[in-house]
Structure formats: C-alpha cells, structure tokens
A = this chain, B = another copy of it.
Amino acid sequence: MNDKPILMGTDTISGVAPEILDSIISASRVKTLPYGNDIYTKECREIICKIFEKENLEIIPMMSGTASNSLALSSFLQSYGSIICHDEAHINNDEGGAPEFFSGGGKLISICDNLGKLKPKSLKTKIDNMSFKKKNTANISGVSITQLAENGTIYKKKEILEISKICKNHNMFLHMDGARFANALVSQNISPAEATWKLGVDCLSLGATKNGAMAAEVIIFFNNKLAFEAKNKIKQTGHVISKTRFISAQLNAWFKDGLWIKLAKSANNNAKYLSDQLSLFRDFKLLYPTEGNEVFLKIENKTYDQILKLKIIPNLWSKVNDDELVIRFVTSFETQKSQIDELIKRLSNQFIKT
C-alpha cells in the first residue's frame, strides 16, 4: 500500500483527454476571427446538428457549467417568472444564485422528492396548487431537470416524457442540465436525439468539462425561438470569450469518433466496479443504484474519519443526522481500475466485509 492520497470526490479533479489537448494545440496555430466567427465554431454547430439529428440547431459554446445552465434558463425565465426544479438540484443548491441573477430576479421553486429526482406527480400537484391561487404568484416559466439526476441515477425516457407532457400542457419549457449527460446516455444505450428533443426537452446544457475537456460546455436549443434571448445575453453576462475557437476545438474533438461516449463508458464501468466493491463492506450502505459515474454511500461519522486517515478523499455530500453522513465517490474518464483496487485494498485493512 502506497500512501498517495486518492482524490475521488468529483470528476472535475481530472485533467484533459489527449485527443482534446491535441485539438487545442492544433487550433492555437491558426489565425481566425474572434467572437465565435471562426471555422471551429461553425464546424461545432454542424457536428451537433448531425449527432442530435436535427437541422439548424442554435448552439452556444460556453466555458462554465453554471453559466451554461443559467444562460439557458434565462432564455425563458423572466425576472417575474419562475422555474420548478428539484430541491437538491445543482442550479438550486450549488450555483450561488446564478439563475436568479441571470434572469434579474427570477425564482426557483423547489420540490422535495425522495431519491433526488423530480417525480411527474409532484410536479403536477405543485403546478395545480400554484395555479389555484393565480393572482400575484410568480408565473411558472418552465422546469429544469438534471441528467444524471442529483442522486446519480438516470431519468428514464418514460419519466422525462411525462414531465415534458405536463410542461407542454401548461405552456412551460423544459430544460435539461446535462452536466453528466454522456454518462446517462451510455447507460441507457439510446441516441442523443432519443434522450432529448424526441422526449420534449427544449434546451440542453451539455457538459464536456467533467468528461475529458479542459473547459467546454455547450447550450443546445432544440426550440430555436429560445436562442434569441440567450444570444442577446451572452456578451452582457461576460461569457463571450474572444478566442471562442478554443472552446469549439475542445467540443469538436470530444464528439469526434464517439470519444465522449467512450470516455463516459469508461467512467461508468469503473463506478459500477467501485460500487460493487464498496457494497461488500458492512459499514458502507449504498444509497442509490449506481447508474452513471457517481456512488452515494451512507456511513457513520467515525467511518468518515477512518477513511480520511487512509488518505481516501470522497466528497462530503450531506448530513443525515448527528451520527451519519452521506459521501459521494465520482469516477472520471481518467480513473483506472488499479486506483479502485488500491482504494479497496486500503479499506480492506480497516473494514469488515459482510
């Protein structure tokens, strides 16, 4: 057993996939127009149209996931409007109030559902109750769901379809925070189109940063009308990067020859392996099925202290009560089976298997 710390709390610890780095290097040797009027960004749009099987998609390459979500939401969230999301949604808990800021005061209305997923039934009840009073209630502009969901599981096609139907019935838009969209895709073995606009998703904040890129996200509008407001706000929110080509170059390499799928598959496989191994220990209670690249476990406080002493660094997720915690392990495209074996080996010296 070596004593190097094993950082496995988030996928943003990872570096950059070699193919993506090569694409950046190659783009650095070219002179091209700034502000998105470059050949890489043009190509990026074409690739996305092809992969998502839809013509003339409007896209916005971005460098930050928070900005990608907030700018997408601001395309239909007015200052006097509101968005319904899960209480534990990243946009509600971890983005410092960015959706509220981008929309100049828009409101997130959160629903507490078990298991970190918005249930169609809860959504319907919420909308009904809000519509009941009508007067002076913030208008509901749309719904945002996260894929992978907040608990690392996948929104199934049927679930998304039900949610999008409720949205359509109430003239609301449906946004998907796809920070780990690729991880959801490979586990279901469906096409990008089948996972989004064919289910009624209006816009997708698709993340590459957690899955191989340096800093690359892209907003994809399946509803072209929505792009108008967002495009007007990119500059004002400071998210026009002068050398935009370097975002697009990352995305182009990420999509090329299915690299994004390959990287996500590797991360998912390792997460499943980790999850299976951890479940063998008596003191680790797996909270949700491991459907993507995240593993959530309930442990006692003292177990957490023991783990840290073994130089294993998970993400401290939440407090259950005064004695118990939830921790999260996340694998990335870079994670090696050998790292997991080393992690399990360290635990085996300390913890009993059932």
Contact = CB atoms under 8 A, between A and B. Distances in A.
Contacts of A190: none
Query: Which of A7, A98, A104, A105 counts the most chain B CB atoms within 10 A?
Result: A105
A196 interface: no
Given A96-B235, A235-B96, A235-B136, A31 B13 contact: yes
Query: Which of A234, A238, A317 counts the most chain B CB atoms within 10 A?
Result: A238
Interface string A234-277: 11111111110010000000000000000000000000000000
Contacts of A78: 232
A316 to B, nearest CB: 8
A214 B246 contact: yes
A28 B141 CA distance: 38
Interface string A322-338: 00000000000010000
A95 B136 contact: yes
Nearest to A69: B238
20 contacts: A15-B28, A15-B29, A15-B30, A15-B31, A24-B24, A63-B215, A67-B238, A68-B238, A70-B238, A79-B97, A80-B236, A81-B97, A95-B235, A96-B138, A96-B240, A97-B138, A98-B235, A101-B236, A105-B236, A215-B243
Given A66-B240, A101-B236, 10 more contacts: A16-B28, A31-B334, A66-B235, A71-B238, A79-B97, A79-B104, A82-B97, A94-B136, A101-B104, A136-B235
